[in-house]
Amino acid sequence: MSKQVQGTGLPSATHGSAKRWFRGNLHMHSLWSDGFIFPELAAERFKTAGYHFIAFTEHNCFQEGEKWISTDTDTKTGKLLEESGFLKAYQERFGKVWVERARCAGQAGLLLKPLKEYRALFEEPERFLIMNGEEVTLSTPHTRHWVNVINAPAPLGDLQVDAPPAAAMNHLAGLARRTEREQKRPILVSLNHPNYGWNATAEDIVAATAVHCFEIHTALNCTWSYGDETHPGAERLWDIVLAKRLSESDRSLVYGIATDDCHAYYEHCSLPNHQHGASMPCRAWIMVRAEQLTPDSLITAISSGKFYSSTGVTLAELACADGAIRLRIAGQPGVQYVTRFIGTRRGADLRGLLSAAHDRITGKYSSAIGEVLAEISGAEARYTFRGDELYVRAVIVSSAPHLNPTIPGDVMKAWTQPVVPQLLDRDTT
């Protein structure tokens, strides 16, 4: 078993590891909520694309019980099912016996299959896994947040908390932690798309100390992962949160997740608030280094930062040893790569100029937060710690255009998790 450096999420250089890299998506929807595909077809699509795991995160529910949908072409759902060919594909792929026709209020329709009935069609040990997840709507007097809770035994449902945003997020995470202790199973809590509706500021996430993961790249175009002229992008939020948590708060790390948040599964689908091609699958994912392809093993690894996020760049090697971060890219022919090591040094000015007009805007902070510490071209990169860094992380930017970009001109990238140099001498096995 390889040693892991506490607080880094990166493997040390110890050999003989039984751990593997598993590719997965932690944010997706089906007809069980506001997605537009039968869950069986979605699972098959991800498995065929080479993913090892997925988590359906339906809004405020699990895929359980009875769920009826209309197939009447006079309804929006029925019309889309007809136009997309999904109903025909579903019937041809799984057969008439599998498809449960049912009428409701005089309309033609069918019953969706719950996860427990269809998962055996796709799951294979150490090859493909479907995890139970839920996207919880967390409403406060100030705003609404959307938080993924994965591997819980039961859904939490829509939560309303009469508290400021950070306190509400801490409350939700506390519920998950209590269940975790009672059920003796790891549960992942991750804040989704903080820039969707500008629902979470960096200051909110700093104070939500019970939350240790959030989406730093959501491929769904309407979630504003790259920010706008007033709001910083999610990656900038990450640096502000890391710097302030490690200096002023509880000194806890926050890990950055990339997801699809896919709703539509064919290119001509037109869903409310979704641009053409904006919510398609297989655009952003995480690569998790775990011992087994099981929910407990994956969630434990993710919660420890033993993963990287990607929109197309694959790492052949990622390690932390001898006072340095080292990585090697599994490069594609003709593609150039630049690795930027980004961090914040101790003593940086962490004061923010907060907006007097609107409390849903992250403050303006010094460029010393999240500065580029080194930039290296090529397939291999190494950063040696100077010793005064609060944290260091890497972003790898390729010259390869993304096939379905989140913004025009976007390219394939990868993001590693932050390393805290001061913790490097605290090896744990």
Token output for 363: 């403050």
Would you say residue 349 lies in a domain? yes
Does any domain span residue 88? no
Q: How far, in Å, CA of 153 to CA of 421, rounded?
A: 37
pLDDT of residue 423: 78
The answer to whether residue 101 is domain-embedded is no
Rounded to whole angstroms, the Cα distance separating 159 from 165 reads 12
Provide the pLDDT for residue 3: 33
Count, residues in the chain: 429
Total domains in the chain come to 1
Answer for the pair 219, 406: CB distance below 8 angstroms, yes or no.
yes
Question: Tell me, what amino acid is at 109?
Answer: G
pTM over 0.75: yes
Rounded CA separation 204/234 (Å): 13
At residue 17, the pLDDT reads 58
Q: Of 375, 354, 320, give the one whose Cα is nearest residue 6.
A: 320
- Residue 336's Cβ-side half-sphere holds a number of Cα atoms within 13 Å equal to 4
Domain assignment present for 61: yes
**Taking 80 as the threshold, does the pLDDT of residue 2 lie above it?**
no
For 133-165, write each residue's pLDDT tens digit: 999 999 999 999 999 999 999 999 999 999 999
Rounded mean pLDDT, 297-305: 98
Q: Say whether 9 sits in a helix, a strand or coil.
A: coil
Measured between its terminal Cα atoms, the distance across the chain in Å is 8
Q: What integer pLDDT is reported at residue 335 of this predicted model?
A: 98
Evaluate whether 27 touches 54 at the Cβ level (below 8 Å): no
Residue 404 lies in a domain: yes
- Does position 323 have pLDDT exceeding 70, yes or no? yes
Is there a domain that residue 118 lies in? yes
Give the chain's count of helices (H) and strands (E). Answer: 8, 22
Domain span holding position 323: 4-67+112-428
Q: What is the pLDDT of residues 102-138, one digit of tens each?
A: 988 888 999 999 999 999 999 999 999 999 999 999 9
Summarize the confidence of residues 366-387 as an average pLDDT.
Answer: 98
CA 121 to chain centre: 25
How is residue 202 annotated by DSSP?
H
98 part of a folded domain: no
> Region 72-90: what's the mean pLDDT?
91
CATH code of residue 401 = 3.20.20.140
144 inside domain: yes
Query: For 233-276, what is each residue's pLDDT tens digit?
Result: 999 999 999 999 999 988 899 999 999 999 988 764 444 444 44
